[in-house]
Structures are given as C-alpha cells and as structure tokens.
Structure 1
Amino acid sequence: MTEVLWLLALALAMGATGLFSGLLAGLLGVGGGIVIVPVLFTVFPFFGIPESVQMKLAVGTSLATIIPTSLVSARKHFAKGTMDVALLRSLAPSIALGVLAGTLLGVHVQGSVHTAVFAAIAMLVAANMAFTGVDWRLRDSFPTGPARHGVGGFIGGISAMMGIGGGTVGVPILSMFGAPIRSAVATASAFGVIISIPATLGFVYGGWGDPALPPPSLGYVNLLGVALIVPASLIATPWGVNLAHSIPPLLLKRLFAGFLALTVLRMWWSLAT
C-alpha cells in the first residue's frame, strides 16, 4: 500500500511538472527541458531518490520527453518553409559529435559535477533573457569553417548534458549570428531531434541496472515521468500561448530569467550543503 501511494504521489508530481513546463513553453517559447530538469531536480529529494542519481535521472527523463515534441515541431516548421536546411545540414555532424561527448560526460561524471554544469549554463541562459533585448546580435552571419563546427559541437554537447532540446541554446546562438527569429526557432527545432534521440539512448544505457533508480525506470529515464509529462505539457501549452497575448513579451523574458536564477541558486545551495 505504501508503494502504491508513493507511486501515486510521484505520478502527480510528474503531471504537475508537465503542466508547468507546457505553460512556460507556450508563454515563452522555451523548450521544456530547461524547465523540466530543474523542477524534477527539486521534486526528486521529496521521494527519497538518492542524490547520486537525481540530476542524471532528471536529464535522462527530460531528454526522452523532448523526442516526440521535437519531431512534431521540426516537421511543422519544415512544412512552413522557415527552416534553414543548408545550415542544418552543415551543423548536423558537429552537433551529433557534441551529443556523443555530452552524453558520455553526463552519464559518467559525479552528480555534483553534473549539477554544477547545469547551474552554470542555466545562469547564462537566465542572464541572456534578463539583460538582452529581442533583436540583440553579435554579427550578421554565421561563422564558417572550424568555428562553425565548434559552435555545433557546443550546442550538441551542452544540450545533451543538460537534458534540453536545441531551442534553449540554439535559438539565442542562431539569433546572435544574424538569423531571423522565425528561422532560428525553426532550425533549432530540428537540433532537438539530433540531440534527444541518441542522448536518450545513451542515458538509458548508462543507467542500466543502477540500484539507486526509482521504479519504473529504464536506465536514467523514468518511464512514469515520460508518460505523464508529455501529455500534460501538450495540454498546458495552449494555455500559455493564450496567456502570452495578454502579457508583454519582454516582461515574460524577465520573469522566466528570475525563475531560472532562483532555481540555479537552489542548485548551488544543494552543492554547498
């Protein structure tokens, strides 16, 4: 009976995580991973999940939820003709190599190191949302040659290690190199496909047989979380879209930056104590 109640409570927490991530996705256009990972990291301790697997389980579960959403999103953006297919093809190999490296690091580093990396990158995302305007850019064209592949590797590696799709890191980077926002969002949606599928498989394999994982898990992917987060987020996303029309976009960016900064501080606090 106790185990049934525990699973029911975990299911409610996963459903609530999906609703919250979907709401913010609709409000801000951010990928669910940047919301799902910190929320799960905060929720897992209440269920007695060991600290050694909290971040890895949050990341692996988040990556698995990104697979269906990124496939649907990329297909729709491609159909609308806003995706920069040439840029995508040139970046795909380096992104894939970055995903391999990021997955290996994410699976094998200690939980505290993993948490610190997520917190550091999330703080940069929060700073970008807090202090830049909508049209800020570094230059008017994407770099070529080794620099282009370096950027692709960075996007793939960081995204796989953090459990996020291509949008959270990819959209700001494409925008700062001169891509129109619609093209940046469309192209980054395809990044999510390249990132989420192999990274999820890596986290499944890397966590296989770990005795610290809660049921029902497949490696570092919690199946209950995937089954509830995906539909709940799809339900709540239209709510966020409707709400976004009544709130200024810049204010929304600032509010999300505040949420992310508070989450990062919570992570740093957990590392210090």
Structure 2
Amino acid sequence: MAISFIILLFLIGIANGFYSGLMGTGGNVILIPALDLILSHYGIPESEIVKFIIAHSLFITFFNGLFVSYKQYKINNFYYKEVLLIAFPAMVSGFIMSEIIKISSWYDKIYFDLIFLFLVVLIATRFLFFKEKVINKVETNKVTIKKAFSFGLGTLTGLTTALSGFGGGIVLIPALTEFCKISIKKASSISIGVVMFLAISISISYLNIGATNNIKSLLPNQLGYISISLITPVLFGVFIAAPFGVKVAQKTAPSILRYLFGSVMVLICLKTVVSLLS
C-alpha cells in the first residue's frame, strides 16, 4: 500500500479513537462511512461489500472497546455487572445474525444503507431534541438494571449491531439513559464494555476463512472477511487517540456531549442520503 493510503487509515483511526473515547460508542459512526469509501476501491462485489464493512468495523471496534474500557476502569468508571448482563445475550444474537448474513445474499447494500440511515436519524433526534433528566450522584449509583430488561436490550443490541456494523451504543446509550435513568457518562461506559464483548463474537464469525475461499484475494493479507493490512494503521490511530477522548469526556458537561453526538449524526445522515441518491 502507498504511504499516503497508510496515513489516511491512521488518521481515520485517530478520529475513530478520539470519538469512541469521548462518547463511548465504538466510533463506528465515523468508521463505517470511511470503510465504505475505502473498500469500494478494491472492486468488492456489491453483494459482498456489506459483509466486509461490518467485519472490519467490528474487528476494529473490539480493540477500540478493549482499550477504552481499560481507561474507564483506571478512572473507576467501569461497571462489570451491568456490562456482563447485557453483553451475553448480545453476543449470542449478534453471532447468529452474522452467520445468517454471511451465508446468504439477501442483505444487499441498499438495505444496509437504509438501516444505517434510520438508526442515524433516530439517534440524532434523540440526542438533539430530548434532554437528559438530571440525576444526582447518589441516585445514579443506586440504579440497577433488571435481568429481563438486560436480556431484551442485549438481544436487540446484538441484532442491530450485526445488521448495521454499529458498535451498539446507538441502542444502549438511549435505552440506559431513558428507561434506566442512568447518566450519559455511566451509560457510555457500560456501552463500550458491552461493545467490546459483542465485537468478539461477530468478529469470530467473519474470521471464518472457509466461508470466503472464493473472495479471499480481494484485499491485502485477508483473513476471512478482514484485511490485517487495512486495520493495522487504523488501530495505531485508535490507541493513540482513545485515551484523550476519555479524558476530555470526563471534563465535558453531559449536555455538550449530547449535542456533539447528535451533530455528528446529522452530518453522517447527510452523507448517507447523498450516497443513496447517487
């Protein structure tokens, strides 16, 4: 690969890592459009490109989530019980849906873009126009998530992630803040922890070489649906930028985080609409 292309991938990792650390969403809202543009230059068939986008997005998200979760743990903002209760059903549903998508041809790029657009509009509306209720520290620490709700939320998160390539924060953060009355900072920490485990199960599905023997030479150093050469510069950028995102998030007012998150979603929404119309 050309040096300029490697630098581009590194910068994508910088943006992804900082945004993930700041918002606790995995950064896929930035990563997916970037991967769409990059992978389209490799001549990947329309029927297969969605699988490549999701596979690369979530493989990077695993390392991203691992790193950000570690940083959250170091500042005493990691919640083991809540993460594991939601992560287990998410991993199961995400893996099953990934296997269904991988062995079939029904999930075309147009469906992927429409689901992506719907989720972006939904979350942008939620964060821009619905304010978070004020919850004091004592009340927040007493908040518990019921097991039945955790199971349902985890299952929905796994399915949504497998279909869209989003890390899960697009479902988890609004659900935890709205229905469980958890502050956005705690919800973001839980979200990135769940995403870390969920990305493992989906990545295992897409790393299965046996399913990709007929297309394995489309990308450099490809293993299953994932190119090690493409993700390595991105991961370097993620590891450098993610801790700065976490630090900034701890010093930023929740209202500012909400408007920032929603505003980025609006920009991505416009880009997706242009892609659909072109």
Q: Establish whether TM, by shorter chain, passes 0.5.
A: yes
Alignment pair present for 1:259 and 2:259? no
Q: Which residue of 1 aligns with 2:131?
A: 133
- Gaps (5+ residues) in structure 2? 136-142
Alignment of 1:180-195 (within 5 A): 180-195=183-198
Return the letter of the residue paired with 2:160: I
Deviation at 1:152, TM superposition (A): 1.6
Return the letter of the residue paired with 2:177: S
Are the aligned partners of 2:94 and 2:198 in contact in 1 as well (CA < 8 Å)?
A: yes
Q: Name whichever of 193-202 and 75-84 sits farther off.
A: 75-84
Are the aligned partners of 2:68 and 2:242 in contact in 1 as well (CA < 8 Å)?
A: no
- Which of 8, 17, 34 is matched with 2:29 structurally? 34
Q: Which residue of 2 aligns with 1:170?
A: 172
Q: Which residue of 1 aligns with 2:139?
A: none
Q: Residue 159 of structure 2: SS of its match in structure 1?
A: helix
Deviation at 1:258, TM superposition (A): 3.3
Are the aligned partners of 2:26 and 2:65 in contact in 1 as well (CA < 8 Å)?
A: no
Are the aligned partners of 1:130 and 1:253 in contact in 2 as well (CA < 8 Å)?
A: yes
- Counterpart-to-counterpart distance in 1, 2:258 and 2:83: 27
Q: Which residue of 1 aligns with 2:240?
A: 235
Count of residues in correspondence between the two structures: 265
Deviation at 1:17, TM superposition (A): 1.1
Q: Which residue of 2 aligns with 1:74?
A: 69
Return the letter of the residue paired with 1:131: F
- The CA deviation string for residues 48-102 of structure 1, in whole angstroms up to 9 with x for no partner, is 5444333322221121112223233334545665444444443343222221233
Inter-CA distance 184–98: structure 2 relative to 1 (3 Å threshold): same
Are the aligned partners of 2:25 and 2:167 in contact in 1 as well (CA < 8 Å)?
A: no
Deviation at 1:121, TM superposition (A): 1.5
Are the aligned partners of 2:65 and 2:193 in contact in 1 as well (CA < 8 Å)?
A: yes
Inter-CA distance 14–264: structure 2 relative to 1 (3 Å threshold): same
Q: Residue 271 of structure 2: SS of its match in structure 1?
A: helix
- The CA deviation string for residues 147-189 of structure 1, in whole angstroms up to 9 with x for no partner, is 5422220012212333233434323222222224443233323
Q: Residue 182 of structure 2: SS of its match in structure 1?
A: coil
- Which of 58, 64, 69 is matched with 1:63 structurally? 58
- Counterpart-to-counterpart distance in 1, 2:240 and 2:73: 23
Inter-CA distance 168–178: structure 2 relative to 1 (3 Å threshold): same
Q: Which residue of 2 aligns with 1:158?
A: 160
Alignment pair present for 1:98 and 2:102? no
Return the letter of the residue paired with 1:119: L
- Counterpart-to-counterpart distance in 1, 2:78 and 2:244: 26
Identity of aligned residues (%): 22
Are the aligned partners of 1:213 and 1:220 in contact in 2 as well (CA < 8 Å)?
A: no
Q: Which residue of 1 aligns with 2:223?
A: 218
Q: Name whichever of 199-208 and 73-82 sits farther off.
A: 73-82
Q: Name whichever of 228-237 and 198-207 sits farther off.
A: 198-207
Deviation at 1:191, TM superposition (A): 0.8
Q: Residue 207 of structure 2: SS of its match in structure 1?
A: helix
Q: Which residue of 1 aligns with 2:151?
A: 149
Q: Residue 165 of structure 1: SS of its match in structure 2?
A: coil
Using the size of structure 1 for normalisation, the TM-score is 0.78
